[in-house]
Amino acid sequence: MKKTVLQIALSVLLLGLFPVVTSAQEKSKSSLFNVSFRTGIASYEIENNSKSVSVNYGAYFLKEFEIGSKSVINTGLGVNNFLFDFQNANGQSINAQNTFIELPVGYKRYSYNQDRDKAFVTEIGIINRLKVNEEYTSFPDVNIEKDLGYNLGAIVGLGYHTSIYDYGSLEMGLILATDFLNSGYDNSNIIDNQVSLYFTFKFLR
């Protein structure tokens, strides 16, 4: 009888500890790296020249640094392209593609469910943009000097995070961005009201 009671007690104890161990293992998993893809639209203005609606698409390699059980600092590097059309002073239609190297830095917070496998995500931060290339297409061809510079903007994000396997998860949502500073241009390049849909694949360890 004593042996049976002991066996039952040990079984109950093990059953009680198993979820705790599992939960601890889940919480010990940390972000290895994230790969994010974004596409959207924005207002792109070239001072003294044009203001157009642009289409943007980009890819980013990101890393999250934990600062709490639900909060991280999110940063990394990406390449973003802006495509738009405008007319020059002669009324000639020109297609432009501007390429930026971008460095976002954001504070990100996860609001997890009880199992910590799904979460609503909010983010606020800044984005550094360095224009590294311009390409223009027109007929007939026109010679336009490259005007490269730097932009600093604010970002706000809202998304949804879900686990897709033990060591990976998917996040999707919207990111809003707008410039508040630019430097180095002959004619200021201003990116406003940028709305991008993003898909991020998160790899854990």
CATH number for the domain spanning 121: value is 2.40.160.20
Q: Has residue 8 been placed in a domain? A: no
Q: Has residue 33 been placed in a domain? A: yes
Is residue 25's pLDDT more than 80?
no
Is residue 192's pLDDT more than 60?
yes
Question: What CA–CA distance (Å, rounded) separates 204 from 97?
Answer: 35
Is residue 26's pLDDT more than 60?
no
Compute the mean pLDDT over every residue in the chain, rounded to the nearest whole number: 86
Q: Which amino acid is at 132?
A: V
Is residue 14's pLDDT more than 80?
no
For residue 146, the enclosing domain spans: 29-204
Q: Has residue 175 been placed in a domain? A: yes
User: What is residue 11's predicted lDDT score, i.e. its pLDDT?
Assistant: 53
Which contiguous run of DSSP H or E holds residue 26? helix 2-28
Q: Has residue 14 been placed in a domain? A: no
Q: Has residue 172 been placed in a domain? A: yes
Q: Has residue 7 been placed in a domain? A: no
Q: Has residue 19 been placed in a domain? A: no
Question: What CA–CA distance (Å, rounded) separates 97 from 138?
Answer: 12
Count CB neighbours of 10 within 10 A. Answer: 10
Specify whether the CB–CB gap between 107 and 71 falls below 8 A. yes
Q: Has residue 4 been placed in a domain? A: no
Question: What CA–CA distance (Å, rounded) separates 73 from 31?
Answer: 11
Number of domains present in the structure of the chain: 1
Burial 30-69 (b: 16+ CB within 10 A, else e): ebeebebbbebbbbbbbeebbebebebebebebebeeeee
For the entire predicted model, the pTM comes to 0.81
Question: What CA–CA distance (Å, rounded) separates 78 from 7?
Answer: 57
User: What is residue 29's predicted lDDT score, i.e. its pLDDT?
Assistant: 63
